[in-house]
Amino acid sequence: MVNHWYIAAYEPIRGIKDKIIGMLYVDMLEKPYIDLRNNVMLTFTGMAGLCTVILLLILSAITSIIINPLQRMVQATQRIAQGNLTIG
Range 16-30 average pLDDT: 93
CA dist 17 and 54 (Å) reads 65
CA dist 14 and 24 (Å) reads 10
Please name the amino acid found at residue 38: N
Task: Output the pLDDT for position 88.
Answer: 60
Task: Output the pLDDT for position 24.
Answer: 95
For residues 84 and 50, the model is more confident at: 50
Q: Does residue 19 register a pLDDT over 90?
A: yes
Range 38-50 average pLDDT: 98
Task: Output the pLDDT for position 65.
Answer: 94
pTM (2 d.p.): 0.58
